[in-house]
Chain A
Amino acid sequence: MPPYTNIPLSPAELSYLHTSLSSTPPIRPDGRTPTQFRPLVAETAILPTANGSARVCFSDGTEAIVGVKAEVEKTRGGGMEQDVNMGGDDGNDEGKGEVQWLQLGIDIPGLRDDDALPVFLGAMLREALLADGGLAARLNINARFHWRLYVDILLLSPPLSYPLPLLSLTTHLALLSTRLPALVSQGDEDPLFNDDWQASLPLYPSKASQPPITLLVISVQDTILFDPSVPELAVADAVLAISVLQTPGSRTWSVVAIRTVDPPSRLTAAGVPSSLGSAGGAVATATNAEVLLARERDEIGSVWRPPRGGVGRKVIARMVKMVVESGGVADEVMGGLEGVEIGMS
């Protein structure tokens, strides 16, 4: 079980949180508005031995470092190695890359590589980065060689809250600060690079095309909240991770990936209705079957009950709209990230 599901909250506390979050306007435990993010500290180009790097520290103490390194590699079946052509497309077409050229690793303290959380986060971030094919195409050097890009994500603190927004923002900044040495050879020669680091070229050269960002959105009844903290996740009805990409040359956003995340609220314990006489310190005399029956008949939700079922289509549509609309959350986050100075290591 992932560590974030060990929720140290009683059914009464969960019920209190749920009620305050589902009221209009919602009252979040830390007083934020529904679309407000927690403050963060970010810096880029902090690792001298990496092609690009970034560090982001959230105000709740979670901190992540991402290092991007690139290696030159021979393209399989490219150029002279290609002696038997089995038909189909010959892989020589310009501007195409392969998804294997990007490797992404996530290290979270206290968790193994094959635990659920790192696997899920890794697959989600990778999927978003490769969604438009632009990154893989940029890794082409010539018909015979390509860059292999290693994105290594290190969470320095224990995963206090669901670390997806943190890791996504850090990866975004690290890729923006990534520079590749300038090519001086021509055509399909063995690649030779300019050894002047000042002449190196950024992986994302223009402001117009940027790496995607992934946002975590939760719903509590009709309320939609962004950047949830641990107690808010504990009462969420549905958790969605939405990856958005800025359409090149415009300020509009397109959704490139959506995934549902298993809400930890489904693992919480349900409360016992006070009609059974267990309230006020009285000795509970009800059997387990009676408790279950009383919970089932508790239609109005007088006590906390873990959510059942899924999320309605209308709620999902509203979540997506809040992210991508002009002046929406994605615009806001990108505006905040533009304030981060992209340095040169």
Chain B
Amino acid sequence: MQADRRRLNAPAGGTAPPVFASANTSPPRRRRKADEHRKIFLQTGIVPSAAGSAYYELPPDPATPPLTRKSSLKITCTVHGPRPLPRNAAFSPNLLLTTHVKYAPFATKTRRGYVRDSSERDLGLHLETALRGVVIGERWPKSAADVVITVLEGEDDGPAGAHSGDMGSGWGMLSVLAGCITVASAAIVDAGIDCVDLVSGGVAALVHDQSSEITTVLDPAPAEHVTRAACLVAYLQSRDEITEMWMKGDAGGDLGGLIESAVQSATLARTVLVEAVKDSTEARVAAMSPPELPSTDAASKGRPKDVVTTG
């Protein structure tokens, strides 16, 4: 049918006046204790075609009613490699680790494009710094490994109802990065790449609470707080070392306490990480060795840990 293009016609289906949601929804409140981490779901080995993979989720607080429930954090990570560098690449005495962090287009309130923007590249660089210190790169000369992270659902940034523009307040990036570090650590272990320790990410923040006093909280959800300063660490517990630190905001004189709390938060995330790695290793050992043979545990853990890759 030829459309009538001479006149401005009314829409065919009629119109309805816009109905706005009522603005009196109270902002979400933190129901956890100040030193309580949200529950973490972590599972490794979810992508069979990748050398290593893991999935990380921070579910929303089940106590909040469904209408006001905020989105949670869901991150997948795949590790490809270690694989040999292409023949025309320059010689590298160490494993070349590259990291990609990408938000899915539907992950946040404002749509993300398919090309990584500067904040996603920045997250990738932070993740690379955190992982480079953990992976023992000199055992894989002339090889490369890719860590690819997709954020399926990013947390709502900033207080509810506030129009926070394109970039948001930026505090949520810290929680996302902490998740990225933990999930990448699990995936790297799943891929069988040698590490000096398990690295886990933790965030702590100085926030203004209801009586506008400043308190330190572990694992802040950015929508629940008015944040003054926040700190992320990637922490190696058994070596008591920090491979990555990212502090933003005015911490005043309490910088040491803030770092201490972030380390405590990373320690809490590590317990989940250890359990997830243990589960997957046990499952793999059970699948590899027939049950009647007593498996020598150290020799049959996962992939062969041979380092004889050069030649």
Contacts and interface: CB of A to CB of B under 8 A. Distances in A.
Contacts of B245: 240, 258-260, 316
B138 A305 contact: yes
B248 A127 contact: yes
A116 interface: yes
Contact of B133 (A77, A257, A266): A266
A131 B165 contact: no
B263 A292 contact: no
B258 to A, nearest CB: 10
Given A309-B241, A313-B259, A257 B248 contact: yes
A311 B250 contact: no
24 contacts: A87-B23, A88-B162, A91-B163, A99-B170, A100-B166, A114-B121, A123-B118, A256-B248, A256-B249, A256-B250, A257-B249, A267-B93, A268-B93, A288-B310, A307-B133, A308-B136, A309-B133, A309-B239, A310-B234, A310-B236, A310-B241, A310-B244, A311-B242, A313-B260
B196 interface: yes
Interface in A235-288: 240, 245, 254-262, 266-270, 287-288
A312 interface: yes
B251 A255 contact: yes
A228 interface: no
Contacts of A287: 308
Nearest to A257: B248
Contacts of A84: 20
B122 A313 contact: no
A289 B23 CA distance: 67
B50 to A, nearest CB: 24
Given A87-B23, A87-B161, A268-B93, A260 B311 contact: no
A310 B242 contact: yes
B137 interface: yes
B240 A289 contact: no
A266 to B, nearest CB: 5
Interface of B: 20, 23-24, 92-94, 96, 116, 118-119, 121-122, 125-126, 128-129, 132-134, 136-139, 159-163, 165-167, 169-170, 196-197, 231, 234, 236, 239-253, 255-256, 259-260, 263, 307-308, 310-311
B122 A310 contact: no
Contacts of B244: 260, 310
Given A87-B161, A89-B162, A316-B259, A122 B118 contact: yes
Contact of A320 (B96, B166, B246, B255): B255
A124 to B, nearest CB: 9
A309 B243 contact: yes
A98 interface: yes
A258 B245 CA distance: 7
A57 B96 CA distance: 34
- What interface size band does chain A fall in? 35 or more
Contact of B250 (A89, A114, A132, A267): A132
B265 to A, nearest CB: 14
Given A119-B118, A123-B119, A270 B138 contact: yes
Given A267-B137, A313-B242, 8 more contacts: A98-B165, A255-B247, A260-B243, A292-B139, A305-B138, A309-B134, A309-B236, A320-B255
A93 to B, nearest CB: 12
A116 B246 contact: no
A260 B93 contact: no
B23 A131 contact: no
Contact of A260 (B129, B161, B248): B129
Given A259-B245, A313-B240, A308 B196 contact: yes
Contacts of B93: 267-270
A288 B118 CA distance: 40
A266 B137 CA distance: 8
Given A88-B162, A260-B129, A262-B128, A312 B240 contact: yes
A116 B236 contact: no
> Which among B133, B310, B311 has the greatest number of chain A C-beta atoms within 10 A?
B133
